[in-house]
Chain A
Amino acid sequence: MSLLAHTVQAGTPLLFGTVGEIYAERSGVLNLGVEGMMAIGALIAFMTSFYTGNIGLAIASAMIAGALLSLIHAFLSTSMRANQIVSGLAITILGLGLSGFLGKPMIGMTAPRLTSFPIPILAEIPIIGPILFSQDVLVYTSILSALVLWFVLFKTRPGLNARSVGENPAMADSLGLNVYLIRYVCVLLGGVMAGLAGAYLSLMYTPLWIEGMTAGRGWIVIALTIFATWNPLRALLGAYLFGGVYALQFRLQAIGIATQTPQFLLMLPYITAIVGLVLISAEAVKRRIGVPAALGLPYVRGES
């Protein structure tokens, strides 16, 4: 399989996760539970596929599982005004724990997987065809969702509402927006996407069930969210860029080149995120593409 095709596959879970996290953070909720939601999504998808053989059902249940986990986080951080960091970390630990706990009996086993689904005419296009259009359903979904969700976020009223809730919830509230509902929806969307990311990992990317399937991708997603400056289109760029790093590193190992340098390459998403954050911190730039101003702060009506 070509390097670029592998890049797309490696980038897909990152793309799903990042787009979802973008929505959550745009509405002002920091979701540190992505890693756990991905893990649970992976597990539920695999389990469902293992016991029912129905891939569609597996994907759907992964989405629901991710949503349920994120519902806890949404409830705690929005309605209960709990500390978003603690809540998010609790979800990550819960998701990772459940995934390992329930997945133990299935370690090393295989389950029916996603098959590739080449798009009839487009797959024939000389170079791009095999890379982009001979992939599986979830890859197409991820790209589509990035495009659609970008459009929704920046070109529609609901997207504008979501963004304003994240910038100035008090103002949004006084203008009649239901801050809590919008945050719930955005966080749930994040959960669904994280579940999809996990489902992709266990149904397509990895041939069998192993422990620790997510391998820290949840944290990369959080880095990529910053890297993409909270924009789903740039998330495409970021996800495939780092998918490429994964794919490249894999190839280097396969050829037998020493596995030393991968670590520095792998550091890139995180370092760029930090650099990006520093650059964004300039006030003028902040106003254009900055961190959602109310990120991480619970909204309590009546408090300034």
Chain B
Amino acid sequence: MPVISLVLGFLSAAPLFFAIGVNPILAYQQVLGVFLSVDGLTESLTRGIPLMLASIGLCLPFKMNFWNIGAEGQLFMGAFGATAMVFLLPESPAFILLGSMMIMGFIFGGLWGLIPAYLKARLEVNEVLTTLMLNSVAILWVDYLVYGPWRDPEGFGFPLTPMFPLNARLPWIPGTRIHAGLLIGLICAVIVYVFLARSKWGYELKVTGESRLAAKYAGINYLRLTLLVMLISGGLAGLAGMGLVSGIVLRLRHGISPGYGYSAIIIAWLARLHPLAAIPVSILFGGLLVAGDALQIGLGLAFATALVFQALILLFVVGAEVLTRYRLVLTWERS
């Protein structure tokens, strides 16, 4: 069923191509080309890595009904933390530098997630709004750094840091751009899955998600749970950020993430909050991003086409999901 809505959503873009004077068949050919070629697939995997890490992380808070919309900001903070390490320890051996970058990426992302967690658990402050606001703050913070103190003096004034030295780059599979982040992502997926399915906190999490009141009566400490969950969720998003700067872009720059944090929300939701399912969905979305590039280069279309695909697929899935969840009888009732 979800596959059908996926395909339908995908095809529904056809009239749009007509509207812009492009033969939809050509467009779909380009897109299929992405998924049917080795290069396309490896690139999809690469682009899917940050999405994977972030969306796996999001499964946790969402499952407990804590709406973490802040993955984007947590990602940026993680990227910031990782980059800070590069500036602090530029000469260290790769093993140490990369390790510290990962740790810092996780910590900074996690800390950024702890703020809204604390505010919600202690003061009932709406977490959708706080996480959303913090996104913009994080993005602006990185902007400040890359336009200012961290700007590459040889970068022609562009808002980016100097390129990372070799010891700051994640190892990658030769011939592709797939970097170690993939391995980390897969491992995290398993860890998070086990955490959810087997651990005490996973259980507490699910109970809280069903009913906070029931959780309270069961003696579950909402504050501790929320803080832990958001530390992990933010931390994973932070790792995604670290992977971006250390594995793909190889520097920190303005707009390091073009909305990956938001896409991750969609992915987590599409994966029904199941960490293992987030893997293929992330790769699919990564593929859509590559397709966007392909359409841009091949047919001169805007990269934004990838977003259109994302949105249409999502809307169709939302529609389908609700139709199956409720046996809907649409009547106009007046009380």
Contacts and interface: CB of A to CB of B under 8 A. Distances in A.
Contact of B136 (A32, A93, A98, A223): A223
Contact of A90 (B140, B306, B315): B315
Given A79-B330, A270-B136, A295-B126, A86 B311 contact: no
Interface in A213-240: 216, 219-220, 222-223, 226
Given A89-B262, A222-B132, A277-B126, A96 B147 contact: no
Contacts of A96: 304, 307
Contacts of B326: 81
Interface in B321-335: 321-322, 326, 328, 330, 334-335
Given A82-B318, A82-B322, A93-B262, A274 B311 contact: no
A176 B335 contact: yes
B191 interface: no
Contacts, number: 160
B133 A223 contact: yes
B314 interface: yes
A101 B20 contact: yes
Given A81-B326, A90-B314, A174 B119 contact: no
B128 A90 contact: no
A90 B311 contact: yes
Interface string A63-80: 000000000100010011
Contacts of B148: 258-260
B74 interface: no
B125 A277 contact: yes
B32 interface: no
Contacts of A100: 302-305, 307
Given A85-B69, A260-B147, A281 B137 contact: no
B310 A97 contact: yes
Nearest to A173: B335
Contacts of B124: 281
A8 to B, nearest CB: 23
Contacts of B133: 223, 226, 270-271, 273-274
Contacts of B335: 173-174, 176, 178
B319 interface: yes
A200 B312 CA distance: 27
B136 A267 contact: yes
A264 interface: yes
B166 interface: no
Interface in A143-179: 173-174, 176, 178
Nearest to A80: B322
Contact of A296 (B128, B269, B300): B128
A274 B318 CA distance: 30
For B123, B141, B259, which residue has the most chain A Cβ atoms within 10 angstroms?
A: B123
A178 B331 CA distance: 13
Contacts of A93: 259, 262-263, 266, 307, 310-311, 314
Interface stretch (A12-20, A50-58, A102-110, A128-136): A102-110
A271 B119 CA distance: 14
B137 A270 contact: yes
A241 B137 CA distance: 18
Given A104-B302, A264-B144, A219 B20 contact: no
Contacts of A267: 136-137, 140-141
Given A30-B128, A223-B133, A260-B148, A281 B307 contact: no
A260 B311 contact: no
Nearest to B305: A101
A263 B312 CA distance: 34
A141 interface: no
Given A93-B310, A104-B302, A271-B133, A85 B67 contact: yes
A291 interface: yes
24 contacts: A76-B319, A80-B319, A82-B322, A90-B266, A90-B318, A94-B307, A94-B315, A96-B304, A97-B304, A97-B305, A97-B306, A98-B308, A99-B304, A101-B307, A219-B135, A222-B129, A223-B132, A223-B133, A263-B140, A263-B141, A267-B140, A269-B136, A270-B137, A277-B119
Q: Across the A-B interface, give the 5 residue pairs with the lowest CB-CB distance, nearest first.
A: A100-B304, A97-B307, A94-B311, A97-B308, A104-B302
Interface of A: 30, 32, 72, 76, 79-83, 85-87, 89-94, 96-105, 173-174, 176, 178, 211, 216, 219-220, 222-223, 226, 258-260, 263-264, 266-267, 269-271, 273-274, 277-278, 281, 291, 295-296
